[in-house]
Structure 1
Amino acid sequence: MDEYDNIANPVSLVFDRIRWCTRLVTLSCPMIDGAIWKHLSHIPTLLKLEIVHGYDDPPSLSKRDIVNLSFLNLTSLSFRQLDDGADIITVIQHSQFPSLKEFKLEASYLTSEAAERLFHALSHCKACQTIETISFCLFDEDPEDVETLTPIPHFLCFTQLRTLQLIFNDSYIYLDNDMLLQAMSSWPHIHTLEINYSVDRAPSSEVSLHGLFTALGLCPQLHTLLVPINIATLDVDPDAEPIQHTSLRSLGLETSESEIADAETLARIISAWLPCVDRVQSLDYMRWDEVNKHLKSLTAAAALYVVGAS
């Protein structure tokens, strides 16, 4: 291949440069071929690898290209702006990542079948004792149908999980009270949990307020929470003695309800159970406006009580 061909094919130029690198620590590049994957697996200094889709014809990988590769010290693996999950699944299924702590995927489109295969592959990549961060952000600008995904059961094996972010605008992430309770009992170290999808196009959430508070009791370190919730019926007695969760600082709730019927009661419940939360965040902030007004008043009153008591 002459110099002109290299200039005309930026992917080949990138590959040629990578082949000369033997002490890489961080690498961000287009999808690489099997030979480059094998080369990178022999670089013990490589800690962070990001694959960015920036070209029309990325190399496709077969199982013969990726066979028993081991990235001994790789701690972060991410894929960004990829339209097909087949190559990612191939890499994860046929490689070992004994030190992996972070896995991230950002894509404009991924079929539900590919997504479920990817969840399954990740849960079997022998990193259950090391992964602390999982992030999936899938943005389909014009989804035709809302499909149901079940990623949570696949991730229960990651007992060291600190951060889980699932942001989908074209799929419904199934979650109910029992599943949320099981998840929280499996992730004792979790401090950030974000599960979000287009609630206006999806079925009503199966998570109730009581189910949410019950699960919160199992994750004392949780700091940031964003989940869809069903508040059509308030199944928590506002006058009952609350079990307070004092670590939670950021609360985001999404609901498919057109309006919140009893904003004041809901605010009283949230304030009693989550005393460090002074507002509910939401993409539809107007829907929660009344709740937040009451929360602000309750927070101010609590602060005055503390000052007076001291």
Structure 2
Amino acid sequence: MHRALLVSEILVQIFDNLSQPPISEILDTWLPSSTGKSLASLALTCTTFHELAMDLLWCNMLGLRPLLGCVTRLHSVVYDSESVYDRDWSEDVDPLVEHEFHQFLRHSARVRNISISATKFLHLLTTLPIETCVFPNLRSLSWLVQCTEIGDLRFFLPPTLRSCYHISEELQLDMKYIGARCPDMEEFTVYGGSGGVRLSETLRSCKRLKHLQYPPFDSTAWMHLSTIPTLLEVNIFTSRMIHYPGPLDNLDFATFLHLTTLSLSGGIEAASVVAIIQHFKFPSLKKFKVHVRVLPWAEAEQLFRALSLCKASWQTLEHIIISSRNKTQEHTSDSLTAVRQFFCFKELRTLRIYVHRPIYLDDDLLFEAMTTWPHIRLASFSNYHYISRLQELQVLVDARNIDIAPEVESFQHTSLRNLAVDSCELEAVNVEAVARIIYSMLPAVSQVIYSDDGVPRSLHNVNKHLDLLRNKPSSAPDQ
């Protein structure tokens, strides 16, 4: 054996690369993979390889079947060629007896990440003592079971658990286990259910929580979250339309000192988002994301105004994303005024506003915006299109009224590289004039793209003229 393989750092790197399975094997829930077979062979090669190869072999598990295959009585039925695809083979199998516990737990301490997508094997563990810690070193749990019997989670919640992804309509049955057994939880994601009433009780035990994704919860839980000093990200998601949370109107202000990301999406209503904005302070917030299914323009304006009024406690914001996919009624108010509501956020890198209504920028507003946001990288004002120190710009253009006054001093934006236009009137413009304007003012733009479906012939002509201007003997743009 080469001496380099005796260096633990080198050996770990080699084995770690080997342990990354191809996508085709990740999709297989339990069948032995080529990666697993290679690690098993390495574990049998020599004592130097054994422990590391075994740790990697058992590190990530999809279900309990591999551990059950270690039980002598179950080995043949687990790996029998006719039963491997039989989902009901375990129904007639008796639970483990005492002398089989050691066989089942032989490698469980090596498991770091596990995903449970069915409860069909859990009845085989019913005879295990209630205090048994099946996975003493588990770091991540994905519980993908809709219906959960009380106590099912107890074998999967060691004190070492840091990440828990849970799908269950009956979450309240399991909350007491999560809070009591996993005080060092850092990432807690719950998808499904209506927002367990036990959340506040659970979170009181999670003193190191950093990332939380959860259905809407009550005001007590909100207040408790504000006391967790490690909390960095909160994502509130609901798949159903819900007005929430009314009790916030009676709360005192709460401050989330270290929260950097707040995301509200799904069926939440705009009025509820405004209530959250008005009742909490986020002095460290960098990213604010809202997706509302239905967002009439009047409610959008209220949301923009509420944000601007909270600038004192939101002054660190770098990314604002507000979106709604459902079409709403026409609006008659000034959209330029709405954009100015965001001028108070001087640190903006990203601004994305999609409310299914176009927001046009005139020359003065665009100049004011770029001056106000010195760090802007990406902006979008309609149809999920991006305006990007500033490398991509997508805006609605009134091509019928392109007018560059000769007495006005020209400017150049040398960092803009991508320009997208969206105008049904592009066919009617002087394409040569458009190309010359772009070439003189935006020298880094190599071509113009059309943001709607289909590319008009005139746009090809604009890009053709751009190419001609770029290939002139003099490399300096015309002034």
Q: TM-score band (shorter)? A: 0.7 to 0.9
Which is bigger in relative contact order (C-alpha 8 A, separation at least 6)?
1
d(CA) in 2 for partners of 1:127, 1:255:
39
Partner-residue secondary structure (3-state), 2:236: strand
1:98-177 to structure 2, matched below 5 A, reads: 98-125=283-310, 126-127=312-313, 129-140=315-326, 142-146=327-331, 148=333, 149=335, 150-169=337-356, 171-173=357-359, 175-177=361-363
Is the aligned partner of 1:63 residue 2:63?
no
From the superposition, tell whether residues 25 and 274 of structure 1 become closer, same or farther in structure 2 (CA, over 3 Å).
same
One-letter amino acid of the counterpart of residue 196, structure 1: S
User: Is the 2:241–2:267 contact (alpha carbons within 8 Å) kept by the matching residues of 1?
Assistant: no
CA-CA distance at 1:13 after TM superposition: 6.8
The amino acid of 2:339's aligned partner reads I
CA distance in 1, matches of 2:445, 2:338: 28
On the 8 A contact 2:263/2:290 being kept in 1, the answer is yes
- Secondary structure in 2 aligned to 1:78? strand
Using the TM superposition, give the Cα deviation of residue 51 of structure 1 relative to its aligned residue in structure 2, in angstroms. Answer: 1.3
Counterpart code for 2:364? D
In structure 1, give the amino acid aligned to 2:470: A
How far did 1:224 drift? 1.8
Shift of 1:163: 1.4
Q: Which amino acid in structure 2 is aligned with residue 183 of structure 1?
A: A
Secondary structure of the 2:272 match is helix
The answer to whether structure 1 residue 275 and structure 2 residue 447 are counterparts is no
> CA shift at 1:118, angstroms?
1.1
Query: Which residue identity does 1:78 align to in structure 2?
Result: S
User: Contact 2:244/2:272 (CA < 8 Å) preserved in 1?
Assistant: no
Aligned to 1:44: 229
| Partner of residue 179 from structure 1, selected from 354, 357, 365 | 365
Write the distance in 1 (CA, Å) between the matches of 2:464 and 2:364: 32
The partner residue of 1:27 within 204, 209, 212 is: 212
- Considering only CA atoms, is the larger Rg found in Structure 1 or Structure 2? 2
Say whether the 8 Å CA contact 2:414–2:443 is kept in structure 1.
yes
Query: In the TM superposition, what is the alpha-carbon distance from 1:158 to its structure 2 partner?
Result: 0.8
SS in 2 for 1:226: strand
Supply the distance in 2 between the matched residues of 1:37 and 1:305 (Cα, whole angstroms): 65
Deviation at 1:6, TM superposition (A): 3.2
Change in 2 beyond 3 A, CA 1:62/1:288:
farther
Aligned partners of 2:248 and 2:279 also within 8 Å: yes
Cα 1:84–1:58 change in 2 (3 A) is: closer
Aligned length, in residue pairs: 283
Q: Structure 2: which 5+ runs fail to align? A: 1-148, 151-169, 174-191
Q: Which moved more, 1:89-98 or 1:27-36?
A: 27-36
Post-superposition offset of 1:295: 1.8
Q: Partner of 2:62 in structure 1?
A: none
Q: Which residue of 2 aligns with 1:77?
A: 262
Query: 1:23 Cα deviation (Å)?
Result: 1.4
Asked if the contact 1:132/1:162 (under 8 Å) is kept, the reply is yes
Equivalent-residue separation in structure 2 for 1:247 and 1:180 (angstroms): 16
Q: Specify whether residues 66 and 112 from structure 1 end up closer, same or farther in structure 2 by C-alpha distance, changes over 3 A only.
A: farther
**Using the alignment, how far apart are the partners of 1:165 and 1:274 within structure 2?**
23
- Deviation sequence 1:187-236 (CA, Å, 0-9, x none): 122122222259xxxxxxxxxxxxxxxxx9xx9x2122111121212212
Distance 1:46 1:242, change over 3 A: same
Moved more, 75-84 or 157-166: 75-84
The residue aligned with 1:188 is 374
Give CA-to-partner distance per residue, 1:229-286, whole Å, 9 cap, x none: 2121221279x99532110012222225373422232122212211211222333254
Q: TM-score, normalised by structure 1?
A: 0.78
Higher helix share: 2
Q: Deviations over 1:91-110 (max 9, x none)?
A: 11111111111111122211
Unpaired segments ≥5 residues, structure 1: 199-215
With over 3 angstroms needed to count, the CA separation of the structure-2 counterparts of 1:66 and 1:43, relative to structure 1, is same
* Alpha-carbon separation, structure 2, partners of 1:277 and 1:102: 29
In structure 1, how many angstroms separate the alpha carbons of the residues matched to 2:252 and 2:473? 65
From 417, 421, 425, give the equivalent of 1:257: 425
RMSD: 3.3
1:201 aligned partner: none
Separation (CA, whole Å) in 1 of partners of 2:304 and 2:377: 21
Q: TM-score, normalised by structure 2?
A: 0.52
Relative to structure 1, is the Cα distance of residues 301 and 27 closer, same or farther in structure 2, using a 3 angstrom cutoff?
same
How far, CA to CA, are the matches of 1:24 and 1:243 in structure 2?
49
Matched residue of 2:427: which SS? coil
Instruction: Give secondary structure in 2 for the equivalent of 1:190.
Output: coil
**SS of 2:288's equivalent?**
strand
Q: Is the 8 A contact 1:173 1:197 kept in 2?
A: no
Moved more, 91-100 or 243-252: 243-252
Is 2:273 the counterpart of 1:88? yes
> Equivalents in 2 of 1:164, 1:296: separation in Å?
32
Structure 2 residue aligned with 1:6: 172
